[in-house]
Chains A and B, each alone.
Chain A
Amino acid sequence: AILMTQSPSSLSASVGDRVTITCRASQGIKNDLGWYQQIPGKAPKLLIYAASSLQSGVPSRFSGSGSGTDFTLTISDLQPEDFATYYCLQDYNYPLTFGQGTKVEIK
């Protein structure tokens, strides 16, 4: 199975900050990567798919980039509702595998 490693595991940031989360795959996965946001007690929500495609209805302050093994999720102008845990997911091959998550906390 492909191992997905996210960094950092957690971070503290303030409203208005620019935040970057990285995800590294243990082998090349082209651009078959998604980013999901999970608020405590809620189901994950799709933000980005195919590494850089913004899901319909998701604010444009979320963006994704990368290909191959290294990927980035950027949140520009962090908002109060963005404090959550973010997961990357590779869907290049089965079994699909998630990163361990990055918790974005309020500074």
Chain B
Amino acid sequence: QVQLQESGPGLVKPSQTLSLICSVSGGSISGDFYWSWVRQPPGKGLEYIGYVHYRGTTYYNPSLKSRVTISIDTSKIQFSLKLSSVTAADTAVYYCARRQKLSRGDAFDIWGQGTMVTVSS
């Protein structure tokens, strides 16, 4: 059974770069999957950040596009998120998730447990 696990610093200083890794276990990272990041500020709703495909294709939410990089390392079976020039507004729980085409449509069928990242000096 495929599982996802986020890892990375829980505290990042303002103006620095937030870096997270999502490790994939129990299955292949090289398939028709869209390895994604979603975040949730404390007490608020969910925001889609973007995805990477194992072939290297990426998509970034325009609201974050200038600051986001999502990449994949198939040899390590992991993908990563980098968000530059962070501010307090980037404080959130960050989830990695797998999006794939199911029998009748696309969906995020597997999620990591989430990791809290606080931006503070």
Q: Which residues of A pack against B, CB within 8 Å?
A: 1, 31-32, 34, 36, 42-46, 49-51, 53, 55, 87, 89, 91, 94-101
Binds A, one of B13-21, B45-53, B69-77, B81-89: B45-53
Q: Which chain B positions have C-beta within 8 A of A49?
A: 102, 104-107
Given contacts A43-B95, A46-B109, A55-B109, A98 and B59 within 8 Å (CB-CB)? no
CA distance A34 to B38 in the complex (A): 15
A40, chain B: closest CB distance, angstroms: 10
Q: Are B108 and A53 in contact (CB under 8 A)?
A: no
Known contacts A46-B107, A49-B106, A89-B46; 12 additional CB pairs below 8 A are: A36-B46, A44-B111, A45-B111, A46-B108, A49-B102, A51-B105, A53-B104, A53-B105, A87-B46, A91-B99, A96-B48, A98-B47
Instruction: Output the nearest chain A residue to B48 by Cβ-Cβ distance.
Output: A96
Would you list 11 pairs from A and B whose C-beta atoms are within 8 A, ordered by A residue? A43-B97, A44-B95, A46-B107, A49-B107, A50-B105, A53-B104, A55-B102, A94-B61, A98-B47, A98-B48, A99-B45
Docked-complex contact B105 and A95, CB < 8 angstroms:
no
CB proximity of B6 to chain A, nearest CB, Å: 10
Complex-state Cα separation, A75 to B11, whole angstroms: 39
In the complex, whether B62 has a CB less than 8 A from a CB of chain A is: yes
- Measured in the bound complex, the distance between the Cα atoms of B105 and A51 in whole Å is 9
Task: Say if the beta carbon of B113 comes within 8 Å of chain A.
Answer: yes
Q: Return the contact of A98 from the options B46, B99, B107 (Cβ within 8 A).
A: B46
